[in-house]
Chain A
C-alpha cells in the first residue's frame, strides 16, 4: 500500500472552446513527497493544478480525465459541495502573489479564523487561539501584534507566510504551491522554501510544486515533470533528470539559465517561442525549435517513452527516430514524408 499515490491524474485534458490548454497529462504524487511541475509561461502547469482542484467552471471548460483521485476518493464523481469540503481541508493552494490572494480589508487573523471556522467548527475564541499558534508556527515574529494587522502592512515574505498558515490551517494532505517564491527576493525565497520543507516533514503532506525555476525544483522536489505547450514532455526522479535530461526542451531549459557558480562562454538559447494553443504544430510540438529535429519528428507526435529508472520523455531521438517496439518500416516511412 506504500506505493499508492496520494494524487493520481491520468490523461487529463482541459479545453476551452477549440483551445486545448492541457492535453493528456498524467502524474502520480506519492504521499509525503514533492512533485515539481516545470515549464515556461503558457505551458499548462497552472491549468493542470487548477483542473486537479476542479476550480474551473464546467460551463466554460471541458475537463476530461481517465482518472483523478485523491487517496481512494474519485474527485471527478464528487458533487460541487463535496469538492468544496475537500478544498481547504485536504487539498490547499498557495500562489505567487500573496497580496492578491489575501483580502485587503480583513486582518490576517480574521482570514485564518475564517478558514478554521469553516472547516473545523471551532468557536471564534478557540479559532483565534489557534490562529495565533499558526502564525508562530510559520515563524512570524511578534505574531500576537501581526494577528490584528492588515496584509498591506506586511512584506511579501510575511504575506506568503500568512498564506502558508491559512493553507495549512486544516493540515491538508496535499499542498499545491504555484510559483510560491517567484515574487520574492532570493534571501526571502530561501527562507520560505526552507519553511515549506520543514512543515512538509512535520505534516507528512505531499506538495505539487509549480515553478519555472529549475534550481528550486532541484533542491526541493523528489520527482519532476517538464511541461511544454500543454503536454508533459519529460518526467523523472530529480536525480535522473539533472544527471541526464532526455528531452531536448529539458536540456535547453537547463542550458539557457547560467549557473551561479561557474562561468559559461555563451548562453545556449532555444530559438523561437512557445506556440499558442491554436498554433501548435502537427507532430512533435517542440520540433520547430529543436536542433535535433528530423522529418519523422514533424510527422509523429511522440508519446512518453520509458527510459528506465522512472524516467520517460516524449522524444524519439534516443530511439533512432522511431517509436520503440515498431519496426524499421515506420521510421523509414516517416523519413520520407
Chain B
C-alpha cells in the first residue's frame, strides 16, 4: 500500500495502527428523478478519507456541520456500507466480514452518540438497557450479568440503585453515563464518541469528559472522538483531523495543530472560537457558508471561502503535503513541501 495522507502520522506514536481507514468514500443518492424531472443527485458526504489510530490513542475528527464527520464515524463501525474504501480494525478488514462474523466483531466496537434522550428506550429500566448488549450476544450467566451491571454502574459513576430507574427519571448527564456504560458492556476496545458531550450543559459536560478520559486510561481504549468543539478536542485528543466537505484537509498531533495550523480552514476555525477573555472578540476570518456537498467546488473545495485563494486552487485538488512530525495538510500554499498523497487529478 502506498503512503497516504495518514498512514504515516503513526510513526510519531510508535504504535502499530489499531484502526486503519483507507480511501473511505460514501456517496448518498437523493431524489428519485422520474415524474417531475428532478433527477437523482449524489451527495458526496465522504470522499477518499484516510487515517489511522494507534492502540490507546484518541484521534479527534473536527469540522462544521455537513462536513461528513458523523458519516465517517458510522462507516468506521460499518453501521453503513461504504461506496469505496476499506476499514481495518486490529488487522481485520471489517468490510470483508460476513453478517455473522461482523455481528461477533461488534462486541469490540461501540458508539456513544450525542442525544442521550433519543438513544435510550423509554420503556426499559437502566439495568436492562446497559445489559442489552449481553442479551444480544448471549453472554454470561444471570449471576455474572448482575456482577457486570454493578461493575459498569461503578465505572460510570452511577449509584447501583439506578439500575431500576427509567430514562425519564434521569438528568441529561446521567443518561449519557448510561449510554457509556452500555457501550462498554462487552469487550469494547474501540469507541466512537459522536458529539458525545455536545448536548450537555457545560458543568455536566466536564464531568462526562473526565469520565471518558479516566475510562480510557483504565481500559486502554482507542477513541475516535467526533466533535465540533475545538476546546474540548484540545483537551481530550492526541491527534486531530480536520474535515471540510467530505475530505480531511489537515491532520496533526494536537500541539502542532493548535500551535502551527497550516491549512487556512484550520486557521480560520481556530480564530473563530471565542476566547473567554474580556473584550477579546473572535475573528470572522472566512466569509460565506459551506457549499453544498451535492456540487462541491472544483479544485480545492475550500477555495470559495479561502482568504488566500489563487488561480490554481480553482482548478486543482491540492495534494497532501508532509510538514514533518506527523503533520500533513492539503493546500496549494504548501507547494514547497513533499507530496504524500495520490489524491491529485491525473
| A interface with B by C-beta (< 8 Å) | 40-41, 141, 155-158, 185-191, 193-194, 197, 212-216, 218-220, 238-239, 241-243, 252-254, 256-261, 263-264, 266-271, 273-274
Contact = CB atoms under 8 A, between A and B. Distances in A.
- The size bracket of the interface on B is 35 or more
A193 B282 contact: yes
Most chain A CB neighbours (cut-off 10 Å) among B202, B204, B210, B270: B202
Interface in B274-297: 274-290
A260 B230 contact: yes
Given A40-B203, A273-B171, A188 B275 contact: no
B235 interface: yes
Interface of A, secondary structure class, is: helix
Contacts of B277: 218, 242
Interface in B124-148: none
Contacts of A254: 276
15 contacts: A155-B290, A157-B289, A186-B228, A188-B289, A190-B284, A191-B284, A239-B279, A252-B203, A254-B276, A256-B203, A258-B231, A259-B276, A260-B234, A263-B234, A273-B171
A197 B282 CA distance: 12
Interface in B189-213: 201-207, 209-210, 213
B210 A190 contact: no
Contacts of A257: 202, 205-206, 231-232, 276
Interface of B: 64-65, 171, 173, 201-207, 209-210, 213, 228, 230-232, 234-235, 258, 268-290
Nearest to A185: B64
Most chain B CB neighbours (cut-off 10 Å) among A41, A155, A197, A258: A258
A187 B269 contact: yes
Contact of A273 (B173, B268, B272): B173
Contacts of A253: 202-203
Given A141-B288, A191-B287, A41 B201 contact: yes
A216 B268 contact: no
Nearest to A156: B65
Nearest to A243: B278
A189 B272 contact: yes
A218 B279 contact: yes
Contacts of B288: 141
A256 B64 contact: no
A191 B283 CA distance: 8
A308 to B, nearest CB: 17
A57 B213 CA distance: 46
Nearest to A214: B276
A197 B279 CA distance: 12
